[in-house]
Amino acid sequence: MKLILKEYLASLRERGDLDKSVLPNLLAEIGLNVLNTPMIGTRQNGVDIAAVGKVKGEDIERFLYLFCIKAGNVTRSDWEGNPQSVRPELNEIRDVYLNANVAKEHADLPVKICLCCGGEIEETVLMNWAGYTKQHTTDKIHYERWNGDRLADLMMRSLLARELLDEGPRGDFQKAVAMVNEPGACYEYTSAFLRGLLLDAQELPEKAQLLRLRQAYICINAITAWALEAKNLESIYKVSELGMLLCWHVVRKSLPEDKKPTKFHRSLHALMDQFVKLHLTCSELYLAKTAFAHAHKRHALSVAVRSREAVDVNLAMFELLGRVAIRGIWTATLALNQAESDSEFAQAMAESTQRSLDVIVELINNNPTLHSPFKDDHMIEIALVMYLAQLTDSVPRFVPWLTSVGEKTTFALLLNSNYPTAHRDYVDLLNHPASNDDEYRSEACSGSILYPYLFVWLANTGTEEEKFGFCERLKEMLPNCTYQAWLPDEDTEELIWQGETYHGVCVTDLSPQNGLNEVAKMLNLAIDNCPDINSISAVRFGLVPMFLAACRHYRLPIPPHFWFTSS
């Protein structure tokens, strides 16, 4: 375990990884109160992180800890040569920070100035370090080296110690790291590790909850770092999204809605923020190499699936479509939430949202398979795209696509060619359609969430001819299909974040043959009588993307509350 952690620490970048992700969590867990973390664009006066307190099991008295952080190994060229080198920053701490930046309540504390790196201080620098620290050590100012070995020891002792990280989660974590080259195995072991660590964390005392979340975050960071090094982008996306959802499962009950937040609440909020940022970072890395880079090229992404089977291409392309859409929903929501408090950030999020919209249009135009979903639950991806379109007033860009999907999926029934099926097993999908018999078609399409969704949109945006043809083809080919929708119930909030799918309310009798008025009446009645969407924690806290991400991740239908929200 220590070797794994040392390799992980050595691979971290200074900005954004070691100083903002790993070290603050570690310092909090070993007994220090973190006073500040680095901000880009502001003068640090040599100090990347300041903390105060006693390191558990080491310090007898309280110290003011000042960390100068460097990524990887500290080499001869890192020691001196430019203002960001080690020696100039150590001088700045002594000459500027200690004289101008220390708060009154900490002014009388002894000081420890720590040179911190994820790797090692190389032998060519050790003599310089020894001479410098001997010259400047006083009764009040002390110097320490915090290299990768010390950080790994502290993590083993305080975050990932044997008695804190049980044998089951520890073994699954090590297996996940070992299998970073295999997306499926890496995800399964990570899922087992996270569930063993987090599913019962809600019942623990506050400190234990924070410890479990920090353990999970550090380990997910390690897994994604190695998966990225192994160029396994699939794993970094799925693992980071799963971590975010399970983290929310822990923090959702403890976040205050009306009462004043405590230190514990602020720590929970900060950890949740880190999980979301990690997933959005992994999402950006994944999409930068896939959709963002190649969506504009005709068939490029479809060919990249490298399969002769049409079903493989279809599944992969709809998966990609859903990931671009959910990222756009995240950035659009963040832009709206931060419009007043941080206009610069909101503008950046709005630009990212526009990029996602443009890429979705390119994906659809350059990969015709996206007009012909093979699975009925591809309604999820289609609904996410249209929800994003409504958030951004971009519906007209996607109406032709919806019309095309409605036409092709129903004509596929007439042709007995890859029409959407309720089957989810890969072998069943590979052999679909296995027969032209009415009996087989009735079984393969025993229920549908896709066709009611398409009908609602066609009835509102399509022509009478398009709507009539759509309904007539369904009437002829699927007379016994149960057209339905899913809504959350009172159990959904407790179960959805951990991946349970046996909850919610199924509304039937949404047949397009009944007409829009009757379908709309049934949907509105269901929405009025099933108000449990309002008890979903993510919805209450303004994090609708979290709920939609859970639906997509665990393959639950998008509820009708998010179908057609335009007036």
pLDDT given for residue 178 in this prediction: 85
Residue 280, domain member (yes or no):
no
Instruction: Say if CB 314 and CB 373 are below 8 A apart.
Output: yes
CA distance 478 to 449: 13
CA distance 434 to 421: 11
- Tell me the residue ranges of DSSP E strands in 342-451: 447-448
Residues 123, 174 within the same domain: no
pLDDT given for residue 162 in this prediction: 44
pLDDT given for residue 73 in this prediction: 87
Residues 226, 314 within the same domain: no
Residues 330, 252 within the same domain: no
Residues 141, 233 within the same domain: no
Would the pTM of this model clear 0.85, i.e. be above it? no
Report the number of distinct structural domains present in the chain: 3
- What are residue 212's phi and psi, to 5 degrees? -60, -45
Q: Is residue 496 exposed (0-12), middle (13-18) or buried (19+ Cβ within 10 Å)?
A: buried
Residues 187, 331 within the same domain: no
Residues 86, 191 within the same domain: no
Rg (CA), the chain: 27
Residue 117, domain member (yes or no):
yes
Residues 198, 240 within the same domain: yes
Given a cut of 50, the residues of the chain with pLDDT beneath it are: 41, 162-164, 566-567
Residues 72, 10 within the same domain: yes
Residues 398, 472 within the same domain: yes
pLDDT given for residue 9 in this prediction: 73
Instruction: Count Cα neighbours of 302 within 13 Å in the Cβ-side half-sphere.
Output: 19
110 lies in which domain range?
2-159
